[in-house]
Structure 1
Amino acid sequence: MARRSTPAKKKKTAPRGKTKTGKKPPKKPGGFKRLMLGAAMVAGAVSAIIAAASMLELDRAAHKAVNDLAKSSPAPDTSDRTDQPKQSDMDFSKGYDAPNRPGYMVERVPEGENPQNDTETIPEPRVNPAPKVAPLPSPEKGFGAGTELAWQKFATHVPDTGNAPVIAIIIDDAGIDKPRTERAAELPAPITLSFLPYATHLPEQVATARKRGHEIMLHMPMEPTSRVVDPGPHALLTSYDKVAILNEMSWMLDRFTGYVGVNNHMGSKFTADPERMAVVMQVMKARGLMFLDSRTSAKSVGYQEAQKFDVPAIERDVFLDDADDAAKISQMLDRVESVASKRGYAVAIGHPRDLTLEALNKWIPKMQAAGFVFVPATDIIRRNGVKVTG
C-alpha cells in the first residue's frame, strides 16, 4: 500500500530589519531634542557667568568699604615694626585638647607691671553706683534716631536692683572647651560669656547660652607682649596697618551674631598702641558695640580710645584665676566682694576652668543671700544713665 507523502516544513524567515540579537539600534535624538539640550547648556553657562560677576561685585564693594574706613584717620607708623612675629598656624579645631590648651592661656604680666594695682584704691561707697563708663554713641549716618544698637539689641535685661551692690562676671575663652563652656552656662546667675572667634559650632553654643539668660561678648585675640604666648589665629598685631586690622576684625566679628560687644584676649602689647586701638574703636562705633577693657596691661589705652569715639566702655576690676589655684581664686572672689561693697559694683573676669567653676557655683548663692546682685556687662553701662531698650 502506497503511503501519502507529506510536504516539507518551510523554515520561518526572520523579519526584515531585525538583527540576530533581536535588538534595535538606539535612535539618535531628533533635532528638537538637540536644540533643547544646547539651549540648556547655554543657559547654565550664562547663569554661571552672572553668578561670578555678582560675587566679584560684592567683593569690590566689601573692599571699597574697608578702604573707606581705613582712610578715615591717619595711617599708623609701621617703619619700626619690622621684627614682629608671624601669626601661628596652630590647629584650634580640636577644642581644649589642642596643643598647650591655648583657650586657657592667661597672659602673664611682665615684671615690674601689675594691672591689679589699679584697683587697690577703691572709691568711697556711693548710694547710686556710677561706674567709669564711656557714654552712648550718638546716632551716626546709618543709625537713624531711635535705632537700637547691637549692645542694646542683644543685652540681657535684669530687674532694677535699686541701691544693691552689683557684680558682673565675665567668663572668657568660651567655646573652645565645649563641656566646660556648657558648665559655665549653668552657673546660677546671669553672667557674660565671651566666645573666642576661632572656636567651632559658635552659633549653636551662643544660642544655648542666650536661652539660659546669659549675655554674649566676642573675645578678640590681640598681640601680647611676650613672644612665647600665642593668642591664636587672626589675632590683631601691632605690625598690621589699618586695612589688615579691619580685615581680621571683619573675619572675627562675622563668625556669629547676638553679642553686645568685644573684650580683648591677651593684648598687653596691642592695647597699649593708641593708633591701632583707634582703629578698633572705629569698628566698635560703626557696629554699635560696647568694649570691655580686660586690662591685661596697666598701659592699656582701650578705655581712653573708647571715650574718644563715644563707644560705651567699662574696665575689668579683678582677674579671678590668673593662677589655677583654689586658694588664690578664693582670695580674688573676696576682693570682688570688697570692691562691690565699697564702690557699688565690680567687674570680674574668669575662665571656664574646673576650679573656677566650682568656686563660682558655691560663691554666687552665698553672695546673693548677702544682698549682692549679679548682672550682665551691659547693666554696668546702663547704670550711667543710658537706657537699654528692647
Structure 2
Amino acid sequence: MARRSTPAKKKKTAPRSKTKAGKKTTKKPGGFRRLMLGAAMVAGAVSAMIAAGSMLELDRAAHKAVSDLADKSTAPDVSAPSGRQKQPQMDFSKGYDAPNRPGYMVERPSDEMNNGQTEAIPQPRVNPLPNVTPSPTPLPVPDKGVVPGTQLAWQKFATHVPDTGNAPVIAIIIDDAGIDKPRTERAAELPAPITLSYLPYATHLPEQVATARKRGHEIMLHMPMEPTSRAVDPGPHALLTSYDKVAILNEMSWMLDRFSGYVGVNNHMGSKFTADPERMAVVMQVMKARGLMFLDSRTSAKSVGYQEAQKFDVPAIERDVFLDDADDAAKISLMLDRVESVARKRGYAVAIGHPRDLTLEALNKWIPKMQAAGFVFVPATDIIRRNGVKVTG
C-alpha cells in the first residue's frame, strides 16, 4: 500500500516587524547608551546656565562693592562716634551761657581721701585724640598775660585783710558758684570773707562776680577737668586727658576769658586730669603767663597739681578738708571740727564746700562761734602770703 507523502515541515522563524504602513524597521544598536548620553548633555547645559547666572551675580556684587567703597571714600563718615573729641575751633569773642544743671550728684569718697566733688550725669567720650605732642611753634602767651613790671593778677585782685598776728586762720572756698544763683547769693552773705569759685559755664558771670567782690569776697575760676569715673560729667569745655596741647590751650582761653577779677584757678573734679603731669604742665604754663595762683582741690590722692605749680613758680596751695562730701548735717559738723583741728595744729586750714542748704546753714552758725574763739577767716591768697610764697612775673 502506497504511503501518502506529506510536505516537509518548515522551520519557524520570528515574524518581521512592520510599521503601520507595513514597512520594515531595523533595530539600531546602543539605544540605552544614547539615552544616557543625551541626559548627560541636558544636565551639562543646565549646569552651565546655573554657573553663568552665578558669575553674573558675582560680577554685579563686585561692581556694587566697588561703587560703595568709592562712595565711602568721598562721603562724610556719619557713622563716626559722636563722642570723638576734636581740637575745638571756637569764637572766643562770644560768651557761652549753659542752662542750669539742677540734677547734680555727689561722687562718693574713695578709701584714699575725701573727694567730695559735685559731679553730674555723663556724656560718654570715646576714641581719644593723640597724646600731648610738642607744638610746632612756641607756647603762645594768652592775650591777657602779665605785662613785665606790673602787678600779678593773684595780687591785684586779692582781698586784703588786716594782719592777724599769730591767730590761726581759716580759708573757706565755695565751689560751683554761679550755677545756682540764689544759693550763690546766700554764700556771698556769709558773715566772713570767703573765696567764691565760679564755674565758667554759669550765666551772667560778670554781674555775679561784681556783686561778690563788692561784699569783700575773693574770686576764683572753678575749671572743669576730667574725672576718673565715666559716670560723671564735668561739663562743657572741660580739660580732657585725650586733648593735645593746642586743644588744652584753646579750652583754657575760652574759660579764662569768661570774666575777670579772679585771683586764680582751682579744679572742678579732675581726678584723672590732675594726675597727668604732661597736661598739668600745660595748665601751669598758662597760670604762670597770666599771673594766677592755683588751688589743688585734691580730688585724687594722685594729683600732681601742687608739684607742677611749684616747678613753674606758680603760687599754689592745697585743700585740707571737704566739708560736704555727704549732704548730711551731722557729717558736715564733723568736717568743721576737722577744719578747726587742722587750723589749731598748723596755724591755718583750707576747706572747700558747696552752695547747698545744709552747708550754708552750718557755716552761718559755725563762723561766729570760731571768730569768738579767736580764729580769723581769710581769703585763699592770704594763705599764700602767710606761707611766704615768692613769685615773679
Could you tell me which residue of structure 2 aligns to residue 335 of structure 1?
338
Residues of 2 paired with 1:281 and 1:329: CA distance?
32
Given that 1:321 and 1:351 are in contact with CA atoms closer than 8 Å, whether structure 2 keeps it comes out as yes
- Distance (Å, rounded) in 1 between the aligned partners of 2:184 and 2:108: 23
Q: Deviations over 1:259-297 (max 9, x none)?
A: 000000000000000000000000000000000000000
Q: Distance in 1 between matches of 2:108 and 2:82?
A: 19
Return 5+ residue gaps in structure 2 as ranges: 1-80, 86-95, 116-144
Cα distance in 2 between the residues matched to 1:85 and 1:225: 17
Q: 1:144 aligns with which of 121, 144, 148?
A: 148
| Counterpart for residue 372 of structure 2 | 369
1:51-130 to structure 2, matched below 5 A, reads: 93-95=98-100, 98=101, 100-101=103-104, 105-110=105-110, 112-115=111-114
1:351 alignment counterpart: 354
Deviation at 1:92, TM superposition (A): 7.3
Q: Matches of 2:157 and 2:345 in 1, distance apart? A: 30
Select which of 224, 227, 244 maps to 2:227: 224
Structure 1 residues 244 and 163: alpha-carbon distance in aligned structure 2, compared to 1, 3 A threshold: same
What is the identity, as a one-letter code, of the residue corresponding to 2:289? A
Paired letter, 2:342: V
Counterparts of 2:213 and 2:272 in 1: how far apart (Å)? 32
2-side partners of 1:375 and 1:303: how far apart? 21
Q: Give the C-alpha shift of residue 387 in structure 1.
A: 8.0
Partners of 2:99 and 2:377 in 1: CA distance: 33
Deviation at 1:359, TM superposition (A): 0.2
What is the identity, as a one-letter code, of the residue corresponding to 2:228?
T
User: Shift in Å at residue 100 of structure 1?
Assistant: 1.7
Which amino acid is the alignment partner of residue 274 of structure 1?
P
Query: Would the alpha carbon gap of residues 179 and 267 (structure 1) be closer, same or farther in structure 2, given more than 3 Å must change?
Result: same
Q: Deviations over 1:70-126 (max 9, x none)?
A: xxxxxxxxxxxxx99657xxx97342xx3523xxx444344x43257xxxxxxxxxx
Partners of 1:92 and 1:108 lie apart in 2 by 29
Larger radius of gyration: 2
> TM-score w.r.t. structure 2 length?
0.66
Q: Does 1:315 align with 2:318?
A: yes
Number of equivalenced pairs: 272
What SS does structure 1 have at the residue aligned with 2:175? strand
Q: In 2 relative to 1, CA 160–241 (structure 1 residues): closer, same or farther, beyond 3 Å?
A: same
Which residue is 2:131 aligned to? none
Determine the structure 1 residue equivalent to 2:237: 234
In 2: Cα distance, 1:99 partner to 1:373 partner: 34
Root-mean-square deviation (CA, aligned residues, Å) is 2.1
Distance 1:344 1:142, change over 3 A: closer
Tell me if the contact between 1:169 and 1:191 (Cα under 8 Å) persists in the aligned partners: yes
User: Which residue in 2 is equivalent to 1:192?
Assistant: 195
8 Å contact 2:176–2:197 — kept in the other structure? yes
> In structure 2, do the counterparts of structure 1 residues 308 and 211 end up closer, same or farther at CA, with 3 Å as the change threshold?
same
Distance (Å, rounded) in 2 between the aligned partners of 1:253 and 1:314: 20
Does the 8 Å CA contact 1:197/1:220 hold for their aligned counterparts?
Answer: yes
Higher relative contact order (CA 8 A, sep 6+): 1
CA distance in 2, matches of 1:85, 1:304: 32
Pair 322,84 (structure 1): closer, same or farther in 2 beyond 3 Å: farther
Partner residue, 1:267: 270
Alignment deviations for residues 331-350 of structure 1 (CA, whole Å, 9 cap, x no partner): 00000000001110000000
Tell whether 2:325 aligns with 1:298: no
Distance 1:344 1:175 in 2: 31
SS in 1 for 2:251: helix
Return the alpha-carbon distance in structure 2 between the equivalents of residues 321 and 273 of structure 1. Answer: 26
* 8 A Cα contact 2:225 2:239, kept in partner: yes
State how far apart, in whole Å, the 2-side matches of 1:348 and 1:198 are: 23
How does the TM-score come out when normalised to structure 1?
A: 0.67
- The separation in 2 between residues aligned to 1:234 and 1:318, in whole angstroms, is 27
Q: CA deviation at 1:384?
A: 2.2
Taking the aligned partners of 1:352 and 1:342, their CA distance within structure 2 comes to 28
Q: Which residue of 2 aligns with 1:80?
A: none
CA contact (8 A) 1:107 1:224 kept: no
Residues 107 and 266 of structure 1 are in contact (CA less than 8 Å); yes or no, is this contact kept in structure 2? Answer: no
Q: 2:168 aligns with which of 155, 159, 165?
A: 165
SS at match of 1:371: coil
User: Deviation per CA, 1:177-227, whole angstroms, max 9, x where unpaired?
Assistant: 000000000000000000000000000000000000000000000000000
Q: 1:252 to 1:324 in 2, by over 3 A?
A: same
CA contact (8 A) 1:109 1:297 kept: no
Closer/same/farther in 2, CA of residues 84 and 284 from structure 1, 3 Å limit: farther
2: CA distance, partners of 1:251 / 1:331 = 38
**Distance (Å, rounded) in 1 between the aligned partners of 2:107 and 2:246:** 26
Output the CA distance in 1 between the equivalents of 2:167 and 2:389.
18
Is residue 194–residue 219 contact of structure 1 (8 Å, CA) maintained in 2?
A: yes
Of 202, 205, 210, the residue aligned with 2:213 is: 210
Unaligned segments of structure 1, at least 5 residues:
1-82, 117-140
Q: Distance in 2 between matches of 1:109 and 1:305?
A: 24
Query: Which runs of 4 or more aligned residues in structure 1 lie more than 6 Å from their structure 2 counterparts after TM superposition?
Result: none
Contact 2:177–2:198 under 8 Å retained in 1: yes
Within 2, Cα distance between the matches of 1:107 and 1:86?
A: 25
What secondary structure is seen at the aligned counterpart in 2 of 1:217? strand
Name the amino acid aligned to 2:195.
T
CA spacing shift, 1:370–1:268, aligned 2, 3 Å = same
Q: Secondary structure at the match of 1:93?
A: coil
